[in-house]
C-alpha cells in the first residue's frame, strides 16, 4: 500500500505539477539563497550568485538532454506562442517554410508563420468528416518543398494528445531543410535525437519549471539570418551573443528549472524518466481500453505519453467524474475546452502512484455508472 501523498495529484496540462523536493528546496531558499542574504527573485541577473545559478542550469540542461556543443541553448521569454513568430523571423530567410498540421498547436504555428512568409502545408491530419484529429501524418507522406527554409512539426500536441515518438530523418525523406520542433509538452520527458533536429523550443511550464521561461536549442549555423523586422530581444544572434542576457531573463524560472534538472539527474536521468513515463502512460491507456466505458480515439502508435484525453460514454457524466476526482485529491482532469471530455497530463513530476489512484477511481466510477 503506497504511503498517503502529502499533496493532491495534479494532472494539469501546464503550468503543471513540479517535483515536491524542488518546491521544498525553493521554499527553504526563498528568503536567503545560500547565505547571501537575498532570495533569487530579489537578486540582480548580473550578480555573481545569479551567474552561478544560470551557468548551473544551462550546464545541467546540456548534460541531462545531451545537447551537442554545436547547439546554442537560449533562455528566452514569450512562450512557445512567441516562438511561432520568432522562428520564422529568425530562420525563414525569405524562403517558404513547410508545416505538418497535426493538432491545435501546429495549426496555431502555421497561422502565425503565414504572417511572415509562404508557410506551406506539408501534411494535414484533418479528418475527412467532422471529428477530432486522431493520428500524426506518417513522415513518409509529408510533401516537403525542395526550397523550404525549415520543416516545422509539433512533436507533442498537448490538447489533442498526439505525440511523434520518433523524430524523422529529413535527409532520408529527401530534404536538406532543418527540422524545427515545438517540444513544449514533452521536453525533458524523453531523450532527443539532436542529429535530426535543427531547432527545438519549449515553454518550461510542463516538465521543467514555472511559466515565463522558453528554452530554445538550435544549431549554431542557423543563427544570424534574422529578418530586418525581428525585434532585437527576439533575434537569436543577439540573444546568443549576450548569453541570454540581452534583456533581463526570467531569473526565478531559470533557477527552478535548474533545481528540476538536478532532480531529474538524481532520479537517474532522462532515460530513466522516460522509462517511468512509458509505464505511467501504458497503465492509463490500458485502463481506458479495457474499461468498455472510457474512450481515447488516438491511433495507438501516436498516443501521447504526456497528455491523455479521454471521454465518457455520455457527456453528462463528465462533470460528476471531475467533481468526484477532486474530492479524492485528483485535480485538473477537465479536458481542454476545444476538445471537451477529460484529460490527464502525466508529466515527469507525476508519480506512478498518482496514475494508480486515477485508474482506481476510474474503475470505481465506471462500475457505478456503467
Ligand atoms: N505549443 C504547445 C505544444 C503547448 O503545449 C503550448 C502550451 N500549452 C503552447 C505551444 C503555447 O505555449 P505558451 O502559452 O507558453 O506560449
Q: Is 81 in the pocket of ligand 1 (CB under 6 A)?
A: yes
Q: Is 212 in the pocket of ligand 1 (CB under 6 A)?
A: no
User: What is the rounded CA–CA span in Å between residue 153 and residue 170?
Assistant: 12
Global pTM reads 0.97
Q: Is the pLDDT of residue 5 over 80?
A: no
User: What is the rounded CA–CA span in Å between residue 251 and residue 249?
Assistant: 5
User: What is the rounded CA–CA span in Å between residue 197 and residue 99?
Assistant: 15
Question: CB-side exposure of 175: number of CA atoms within 13 Å?
Answer: 27
| pLDDT one-digit tens code per residue, 91-128 | 999 999 999 999 999 999 999 999 999 999 999 999 87
Length of the chain: 370
Q: Please report which helix (H) or strand (E) contains residue 331, including its range.
A: strand 330-331
Q: Is 112 in the pocket of ligand 1 (CB under 6 A)?
A: no
Q: Which residues pair with 311 in a beta bridge?
A: 295
| pLDDT one-digit tens code per residue, 312-362 | 999 999 999 999 999 999 999 999 998 999 999 999 999 999 999 999 999
The protein residue whose alpha carbon is closest to atom 13 in ligand 1 is 79
The protein residue whose alpha carbon is closest to atom 9 in ligand 1 is 80
| pLDDT one-digit tens code per residue, 178-187 | 999 999 999 9
Q: Is 293 in the pocket of ligand 1 (CB under 6 A)?
A: no
206 belongs to the catalytic site: yes
- Can you give the pLDDT at residue 4? 56
| Other beta carbons within 10 Å of 62 | 16
- Can you give the pLDDT at residue 215? 98
Which among 33, 142, 160, 182 is annotated as catalytic? 182
Which among 33, 98, 105, 142 is annotated as catalytic? 105
Mean pLDDT over 23-33 rounds to 98
CA of 186 to the centre of ligand 1 (A): 11
CA of 184 to the centre of ligand 1 (A): 6
Query: Structurally, what CATH architecture does the domain formed by 269-369 represent?
Result: Alpha-Beta Complex (3.90)
| Residue spans per domain, the chain | 26-266, 269-369
Q: Is 321 in the pocket of ligand 1 (CB under 6 A)?
A: no
Task: Give the fold, CATH level 3, of 26-266.
Answer: 3.40.640
What is the DSSP track for 37-84?
SS-GGGS-TTSHHHHHHHHHHHHHHHHHTT--TTEEEEEE-SHHHHHH
CA of 203 to the centre of ligand 1 (A): 6
Q: Is 207 in the pocket of ligand 1 (CB under 6 A)?
A: no
| pLDDT one-digit tens code per residue, 194-206 | 999 999 999 999 9
- Can you give the pLDDT at residue 3? 54
Mean pLDDT over 20-28 rounds to 98
| pLDDT one-digit tens code per residue, 258-313 | 999 999 999 999 999 999 999 999 999 999 999 999 999 999 999 999 999 999 99
To test the pocket of ligand 1, the residue of 16, 78, 81 to mutate (highest count of ligand atoms within 8 Å of its CB) is: 81
CA of 153 to the centre of ligand 1 (A): 13
Same fold, 26-266 and 269-369: no
CA of 214 to the centre of ligand 1 (A): 10
Helices (H), the chain: 20-29, 48-64, 79-91, 104-113, 236-241, 251-266, 270-291, 318-327, 352-369
252 belongs to the catalytic site: no
From the CA of 82, give the closest atom in ligand 1.
16
Q: With bands split at pLDDT 50, 70 and 90, how would you rate the model's confidence at 1?
A: very low
From the CA of 214, give the closest atom in ligand 1.
15
Contact 68, 91 (CB under 8 A): no
Q: Is the pLDDT of residue 257 over 80?
A: yes
Residues 6+ apart with CB under 8 A from 95: 117, 118, 147, 148, 149
Q: Is 163 in the pocket of ligand 1 (CB under 6 A)?
A: no
The DSSP secondary-structure symbol of 13 reads S
Q: Is 154 in the pocket of ligand 1 (CB under 6 A)?
A: yes
Contact 301, 165 (CB under 8 A): yes
Q: Is 187 in the pocket of ligand 1 (CB under 6 A)?
A: no
Burial pattern 197-220, b for ≥16 Cβ within 10 A else e, equals bbbbbbbbbbbbbbbbbbbbbbee
User: What is the rounded CA–CA span in Å between residue 33 and residue 26?
Assistant: 9
Nearest to 198 by CA among 222, 168, 163: 222
Q: In this structure, what are the phi and psi dihedrals at residue 151, rounded to the nearest 5 degrees?
A: -115, 125
To test the pocket of ligand 1, the residue of 84, 203, 234, 338 to mutate (highest count of ligand atoms within 8 Å of its CB) is: 203
At 291, list the grid cell: 474499461
The single residue listed with the C-alpha cell 481506458 is: 288
142 belongs to the catalytic site: no
Could you give the 3-state DSSP secondary structure of residue 94?
Answer: coil
Nearest to 188 by CA among 201, 203, 207: 207
Q: With bands split at pLDDT 50, 70 and 90, how would you rate the model's confidence at 66?
A: very high
Residues 6+ apart with CB under 8 A from 208: 187, 188, 202, 215, 256, 257, 260, 261
| pLDDT one-digit tens code per residue, 127-168 | 877 788 999 999 999 999 999 999 999 999 999 999 999 999
Q: Is 79 in the pocket of ligand 1 (CB under 6 A)?
A: yes
Amino acid at each position: 500500500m503506497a504511503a498517503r501523498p502529502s499533496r493532491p495529484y495534479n494532472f494539469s496540462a501546464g503550468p503543471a505539477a513540479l517535483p515536491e523536493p524542488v518546491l521544498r528546496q525553493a521554499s527553504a531558499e526563498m528568503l536567503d539563497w545560500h547565505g547571501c542574504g537575498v532570495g533569487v527573485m530579489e537578486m540582480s541577473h548580473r550578480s555573481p550568485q545569479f551567474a552561478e545559478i544560470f551557468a548551473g542550469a544551462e550546464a545541467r540542461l546540456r548534460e541531462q538532454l545531451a545537447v551537442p556543443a554545436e547547439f546554442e541553448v537560449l533562455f528566452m521569454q514569450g512562450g512557445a506562442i512567441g516562438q511561432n513568430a520568432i522562428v520564422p523571423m529568425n530562420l525563414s530567410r525569405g524562403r517558404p517554410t513547410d508545416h505538418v498540421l497535426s493538432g491545435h498547436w501546429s495549426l496555431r504555428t502555421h497561422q502565425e508563420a503565414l504572417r511572415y512568409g509562404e508557410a506551406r502545408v506539408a501534411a494535414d491530419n484533418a479528418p475527412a468528416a467532422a471529428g477530432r484529429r486522431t493520428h500524426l501524418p506518417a513522415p513518409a507522406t509529408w510533401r516537403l518543398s525542395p526550397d523550404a527554409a525549415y520543416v516545422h512539426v509539433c512533436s507533442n500536441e498537448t490538447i489533442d494528445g498526439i505525440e511523434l515518438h520518433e523524430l524523422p530523418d529529413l535527409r532520408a525523406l529527401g530534404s536538406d531543410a532543418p527540422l524545427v520542433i515545438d517540444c513544449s509538452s514533452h521536453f525533458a520527458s524523453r531523450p532527443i535525437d539532436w542529429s535530426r533536429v535543427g531547432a527545438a523550443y519549449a515553454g518550461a511550464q510542463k516538465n521543467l519549471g514555472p511559466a515565463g521561461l522558453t528554452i530554445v536549442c538550435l544549431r549554431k549555423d542557423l543563427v544570424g539570418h534574422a529578418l530586418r523586422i525581428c525585434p532585437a530581444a527576439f533575434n537569436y544572434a543577439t540573444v546568443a551573443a549576450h548569453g541570454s542576457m540581452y534583456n533581463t531573463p526570467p531569473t526565478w524560472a531559470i533557477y527552478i528549472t535548474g533545481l528540476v534538472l538536478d532532480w531529474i539527474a538524481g532520479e537517474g536521468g532522462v532515460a530513466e524518466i522516460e522509462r517511468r513515463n512509458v509505464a505511467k502512460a501504458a497503465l492509463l491507456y490500458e485502463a481506458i481500453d479495457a474499461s468498455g466505458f472510457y474512450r481515447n480515439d488516438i491511433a495507438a502508435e501516436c498516443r501521447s505519453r504526456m497528455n491523455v484525453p479521454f471521454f465518457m460514454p455520455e457527456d453528462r457524466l463528465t462533470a460528476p467524474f471531475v467533481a468526484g476526482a477532486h474530492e479524492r485529491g485528483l485535480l485538473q482532469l477537465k479536458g481542454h475546452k476545444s476538445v471537451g471530455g477529460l484529460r490527464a497530463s502525466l508529466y515527469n513530476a507525476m508519480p506512478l502512484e498518482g496514475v494508480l489512484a486515477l485508474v482506481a477511481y476510474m474503475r470505481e466510477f465506471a462500475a457505478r455508472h456503467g
